[in-house]
């Protein structure tokens, strides 16, 4: 598939799950394309990073379901902070483990899963729709019933994939990418490199094959497509670029300049602008 | 007596939080607690399990000994085999903690990280807090959003829901505090060298339980100082987290 074809399958108002964690292995090429396509009223389910910031800044998000939004090395996401301050965003704020549990429930086609997380905390106050459930066994313990988060679509980014939808991560952490795929009706994987199935299998142990073609509807190759988040071992986070992104969020004119430089064109234009920036900043910085 | 800095006293105070915990995962969320956990593992708590901050478990020599991606951390949390030392943007007298937002949740004056794992941590396993700037802005009468639950919230839940709840200590740049009072409210346990009781009371935005005699926080041993300075933090990054001279 192409990036445009993936985005062509998405509609305004959908619930979209985005893999990765914070500012790590985010399917940023697809996120940038969604922002460019001008989808609106999305519900985004994610362990939040700059995917949230970019989509919020582009006006795509009505509701966010998350336990945090962070750029990791920069603790707070500036676009998300502003949107919250302006009440421009509906938020379903959950314990991280509750988000995990809701995805697992959806993957298992269950209406909910019980957990201790959230009991006694204000997570229940700010999410008045959350219910508790009493154990039917002799312990009778009361637990939070985390509702399933079924997704219309899941977007994840992996190091390697074949054209049929089998995919491998090469970094240390799978995050929850397989669960996002299992919880979704339509599942799309972007990858650093498209390889033959033989090469995919030979690239590491079988347990690194995080997703398979039962869980994936489309594969799109987007080299450097997680930039500026990390996609180790292919590349680390572009800290300088991330700093520039966060700084640009400080004022509308700065953000307009950033957007014109990096986001208004297509993904090829973005990657070319990043290469140009690296060419000059490398000379200056070293 | 040696010339330990305040930051080094804090590292040792954080290390002490994990004393006696056995083979569980230490979860230090900032530099000084991280140094404390590694110091504990290198000295009096060799069983302690540490992560490299990503998905790898590392032993005291810095060598890998296991794999713990995020999904497995949640299993460890649910199983209770973890003692985390979190930060707190706000903390009240019963240990309710906030890292989500300042002001009205619906339209916050300042959006912070989000609740992260604090609700799940505090209901499932031991939690301690590290506050590098002890001030009335952090120690408040009421937190704006209860992320980590305190002793009053745990008591209101009752048994069996609250059976795994424990807030062990709160280490700050001024003192070590705990909840060893009849109503489980915050108590001054020990003073860092050079700090006075009125100083801590002034820096706390609610009445603090104070014993008649408050002991000093344990001083680092010569061996501990050597480990901190030569092995754990040779660049002295700890001194930037706590800007305070000797004593």
What does the pLDDT look like over A30-41, one tens digit per residue? 999 999 999 999
CA pair distance A151, B224, nearest whole angstrom: 52
According to the model, what pLDDT value does residue A280 have? 59
CA pair distance B178, B93, nearest whole angstrom: 10
- Chain B CB contacts of A117 under 8 Å are 77-78, 117, 119-120, 123-124
Mean pLDDT of chain A, nearest integer: 96
Query: What contacts B97, CB < 8 A, 6 or more positions away?
Result: B86, B88, B90, B91, B118, B122, B129, B143, B146, B147, B148, B150
According to the model, what pLDDT value does residue B242 have? 85
- Chain A CB contacts of B112 under 8 Å are 76
pLDDT (mean) for A56-78: 97
Q: By 3-state DSSP, what share of chain A in percent is helix, strand and coil, each rounded to 5?
A: 35, 25, 40
How many contacts does A have with B, using Cβ atoms within 8 A? 135
CB atoms within 10 A of CB B30: 16
**Distance (Å) from the alpha carbon of B171 to chain A's nearest alpha carbon:** 22
Contact A84 B101 (CB under 8 A): yes
CA pair distance B141, B37, nearest whole angstrom: 30
Chain A residue with minimum CA distance to B73: A97
Kindly give the parts of chain B with pLDDT less than 50.
245-247
Which residues 228-257 of A are in CB contact (within 8 Å) with B? Answer: none
Beta-strand ranges (E) seen in chain A are 15-18, 42-46, 61-66, 90-93, 112-115, 131-134, 142-147, 151-161, 167-168, 184-194, 218-221
Minimal CA–CA distance to A156: which of A165, A145, A147, A143? A165
According to the model, what pLDDT value does residue B243 have? 66
According to the model, what pLDDT value does residue B33 have? 98
Chain B interface with A: residues with Cβ < 8 Å: 54-56, 67, 69-71, 74, 77-78, 100-101, 105-120, 122-124, 145-149, 153-154, 156-157, 160-162, 164
Angle between the B6-17 and B31-42 helix axes, to the nearest 10 degrees? 60
Q: What are phi and psi of A100, to 5 degrees?
A: -55, -50
The answer to whether A139 contacts chain B (CB < 8 Å) is yes
Chain B residue with minimum CA distance to A87: B107
Contact criterion met (CB below 8 Å) for B104 and B111: no
Gyration radius (Cα) of chain A, Å: 19
Chain B residue with minimum CA distance to A24: B54
Name the 3-class secondary structure at A272. Answer: helix
Class of domain B6-240: alpha beta
Kindly tell me if the per-residue pLDDT of A9 is higher than 50: yes
Contact A85 B67 (CB under 8 A): no
Domain residue ranges of chain B, discontinuous segments joined by +:
6-240
Residue-wise over A144-166: b if at least 16 C-beta within 10 A, else e?
bbbbbbbbbbbbbbbbbbbeebb
Name the 3-class secondary structure at A281. Answer: helix
Query: What contacts A162, CB < 8 A, 6 or more positions away?
Result: A194, A195, A196, A197, A200, A219
pTM of the predicted model as reported, rounded to 2 decimal places: 0.96
Regarding an ipTM greater than 0.90, the answer is: yes
CB atoms within 10 A of CB B246: 12
CA pair distance B155, B163, nearest whole angstrom: 10
Contact A119 B113 (CB under 8 A): no
According to the model, what pLDDT value does residue B60 have? 76
Reported as a single tens digit per residue, the pLDDT across A129-165 is 999 999 999 999 999 999 999 999 999 999 999 999 9
CA pair distance B197, B201, nearest whole angstrom: 6
* Residue B107 DSSP class: S
- Token look-up 């020599």 returns B61
CB atoms within 10 A of CB A74: 16
The answer to whether A97 contacts chain B (CB < 8 Å) is yes
According to the model, what pLDDT value does residue A284 have? 39
- Chain B CB contacts of A75 under 8 Å are 113
CA pair distance B239, B245, nearest whole angstrom: 9
**Residue B27 CA to its chain's centroid (Å):** 9
According to the model, what pLDDT value does residue A279 have? 82
According to the model, what pLDDT value does residue A281 have? 53
Instruction: Find the range with the poorest average confidence among A162-176, A216-230, B52-66.
Output: B52-66
Contact B120 A118 (CB under 8 A): yes
Contact A121 B115 (CB under 8 A): yes
CA pair distance B71, B93, nearest whole angstrom: 32
């Amino acid at each position: 598939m192409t990036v445009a074809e993936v985005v062509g399958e998405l509609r305004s108002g959908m619930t979209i799950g985005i893999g990765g964690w914070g500012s790590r292995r985010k399917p940023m090429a697809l996120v940038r394309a969604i922002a460019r396509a001008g989808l609106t009223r999305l519900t985004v389910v994610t362990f939040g990073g700059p995917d949230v910031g970019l989509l919020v800044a582009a006006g795509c998000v009505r509701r966010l379901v998350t336990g945090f939004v962070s750029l990791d090395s920069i603790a707070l996401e500036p676009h998300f902070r502003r949107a919250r301050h302006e009440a421009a965003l509906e938020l379903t704020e959950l314990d991280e483990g509750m988000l995990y549990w809701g995805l697992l429930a959806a993957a298992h086609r269950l209406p909910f899963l019980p957990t201790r997380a959230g009991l006694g905390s204000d997570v229940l106050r700010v999410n008045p729709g959350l219910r508790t459930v009493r154990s039917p066994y002799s312990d009778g313990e009361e637990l939070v019933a985390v509702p399933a988060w079924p997704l219309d679509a899941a977007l994840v980014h992996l190091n390697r994939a074949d054209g049929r939808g089998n995919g491998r991560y090469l970094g240390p952490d799978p995050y929850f990418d397989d669960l996002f795929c299992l919880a979704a009706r339509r599942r799309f994987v972007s990858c650093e490199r498209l390889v033959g199935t033989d090469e995919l299998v030979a690239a590491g142990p079988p347990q690194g094959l995080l997703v398979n073609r039962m869980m994936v509807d489309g594969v799109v190759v987007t080299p450097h497509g997680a930039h500026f988040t990390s996609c180790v071992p292919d590349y680390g986070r572009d800290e300088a670029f991330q700093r520039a992104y966060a700084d640009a969020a400080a004022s509308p004119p700065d953000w307009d300049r950033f957007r014109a430089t990096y986001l208004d064109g297509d993904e090829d234009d973005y990657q070319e602008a990043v290469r140009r920036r690296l060419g000059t900043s490398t000379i200056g910085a070293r | 007596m040696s010339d330990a800095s305040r930051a080094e006293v804090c590292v040792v105070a954080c290390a002490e939080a994990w004393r006696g915990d056995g083979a569980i995962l230490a979860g230090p969320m900032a530099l000084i607690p991280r140094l404390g956990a590694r110091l504990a593992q290198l000295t009096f708590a060799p069983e302690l399990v540490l992560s490299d901050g990503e998905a790898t478990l590392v032993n005291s020599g810095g060598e890998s000994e296991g794999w713990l991606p995020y999904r497995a951390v949640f299993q460890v949390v649910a199983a209770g085999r973890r003692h985390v030392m979190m930060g707190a943007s706000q903390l009240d007298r019963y240990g309710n903690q906030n890292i989500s937002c300042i002001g009205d949740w619906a339209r916050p004056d300042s959006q912070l990280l989000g609740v992260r794992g604090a609700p799940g941590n505090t209901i499932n396993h031991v939690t301690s807090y590290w506050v590098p700037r002890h001030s009335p802005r952090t120690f408040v009468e009421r937190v704006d959003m209860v992320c980590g639950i305190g002793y009053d919230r745990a008591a209101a839940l009752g048994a069996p829901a609250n059976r795994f709840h424990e807030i062990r200590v709160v280490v700050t740049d001024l003192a070590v505090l705990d909840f060893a009072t009849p109503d489980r409210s915050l108590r001054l346990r020990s003073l860092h060298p050079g700090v006075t009781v009125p100083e801590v009371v002034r820096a706390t935005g609610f009445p603090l339980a104070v014993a008649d005699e408050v002991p000093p926080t344990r001083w680092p041993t010569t061996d501990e100082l050597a480990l901190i300075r030569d092995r754990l933090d040779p660049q002295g990054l700890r001194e930037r987290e706590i800007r305070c001279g000797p004593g």
